[in-house]
Amino acid sequence: MPTVLLTQRFPDPVMEELRKRFTVVGPLSERHALIQAIPLADALAVTLAEQVDAELLSHASRLKIVAVYAVGYNNVDLAAAGARGIVVTNTPDVLTETTADLTWGLILAVARRIPEGERLLRQGRWEGWAPTHHLGTDVYGKTLGIVGMGRIGSAVARRAAGFNMVVLYHSRRRLSPSEEKALKAVPMALPELLRRSDFVSLHAPLTPETRHLIGKAELELMRNHAFLINTARGPLVDEPALVEALSNRGIAGAGLDVYENEPRIHPELLKLENVVLAPHIGSATYETRVKMGMVVVENIAAALSGREPSTPVRVG
């Protein structure tokens, strides 16, 4: 059977399916171990935590596919893979709704100060109800700005209808008129979106052009009562600039599931009460993580049998 090299363990149903169809090696995530094992691998299944660069691929004499267990794939050197005829795949679609749910969880949590309130209770500091105690911000009827109106951004926009929100969006590709009508979404340039939104939610891919898409200048455009939400990619945001904006109350708060230098978190973010922090759990439901794994399995099976995988990464 063909050999599949894993860098991390997947949910049990996925592991069972892999072992039925392939010889599984790993999980091996340490760099030296990967270099040692990859010459015998026909397929490599990785997460965003592992760098698949030209050096690693130079040892991959048999490799036909790098299957990324994520939507993002900027950890893979696509040019180096392409030069060796190695297919790269990802797992879009199956995590769209789950990530949109988490986005809304962060919106509500930071606007209504839910984690902050729980900490108050757990620390025994709550003294009872009072008219001006622990006041948050309404979400219903506010303006939501979505940066990146792809699958996940659109799913977030659909949920905004239940909160009767005005939806603005900025995206590299404009929606069709029918899509804009269905989502009640208004396109506009990023600076204007930032000026007008009460909540700004990031759903753009990470590219050289979008790295630090939200920096000091962009944060200064936002309203001082506005919130920034990021469930996309950490490096979309200049974290030191965000820390400054949160510390100085240039913006009201932030809800973050991704970070610029994961798994390291900017130490000042950990000290701030007006930021809700989640440990990169946008797709972290049992059902979705199994679905993601099955996409990886089927992509590997297709590539190793000479067929085109269902979700190849297209360059350019």
Helices (H), ranges, the chain: 12-21, 31-37, 54-57, 78-83, 96-111, 114-122, 151-160, 177-183, 190-196, 216-221, 239-247, 286-304
Select which of 196, 233, 266, 289 is catalytic: 233
pLDDT tens per residue, range 66-103: 999 999 898 999 999 999 999 999 999 999 999 999 99
How far apart are alpha carbons 97 and 288 in whole angstroms? 9
DSSP state letter for 222: S
Question: What's the token pair of residue 179?
Answer: 């899509």
Question: What percent of the chain has pLDDT above 90?
Answer: 98
How far apart are alpha carbons 58 and 60 in whole angstroms? 6
State CA 2 to chain mean position distance.
31
Q: Are the C-beta atoms of residues 306 and 64 closer than 8 Å to each other? A: no
pLDDT tens per residue, range 98-109: 999 999 999 999
Position 93 scores a pLDDT of 92
**Active site annotation includes 125:** no
Residue-range domain boundaries for the chain: 3-94+286-304, 96-277
314: confidence class by pLDDT, cuts 50, 70, 90: confident
Instruction: Give the fold, CATH level 3, of 3-94+286-304.
Output: Rossmann fold (3.40.50)
- Of residues 170, 203, 169, 196, the one with CA closest to residue 183: 169
Position 283 scores a pLDDT of 96
Question: What's the token pair of residue 126?
Answer: 């709550």
**Active site annotation includes 233:** yes
**Active site annotation includes 262:** yes
How far apart are alpha carbons 200 and 172 in whole angstroms? 16
316: confidence class by pLDDT, cuts 50, 70, 90: low
CATH number assigned to the domain covering 96-277: 3.40.50.720
53: confidence class by pLDDT, cuts 50, 70, 90: very high
Select which of 112, 212, 223, 280 is catalytic: 280
Select which of 97, 116, 244, 262 is catalytic: 262
265-273 long-range contacts, CB within 8 A, separation 24+ = 266/239, 266/240, 268/243, 269/239, 269/242, 269/243, 272/243, 272/246, 272/247, 273/116
Which residues partner with 255 through β-bridges? Answer: 229, 276
In sign, the C-alpha dihedral spanning 184, 189, 195, 200 is positive
pLDDT tens per residue, range 121-176: 999 999 999 999 999 999 999 999 999 999 999 999 999 999 999 999 999 999 99
22 pLDDT more than 90: yes
Average pLDDT, the chain: 96
Q: Are the C-beta atoms of residues 28 and 5 closer than 8 Å to each other? A: yes
Which residues partner with 275 through β-bridges? Answer: 254
How far apart are alpha carbons 76 and 145 in whole angstroms? 30
- Of residues 3, 5, 2, 15, the one with CA closest to residue 56: 5
Q: Give the other-Cβ count within 10 Å of 79's Cβ.
A: 10
Q: Do domains 3-94+286-304 and 96-277 have the same CATH topology?
A: yes
Position 164 scores a pLDDT of 98
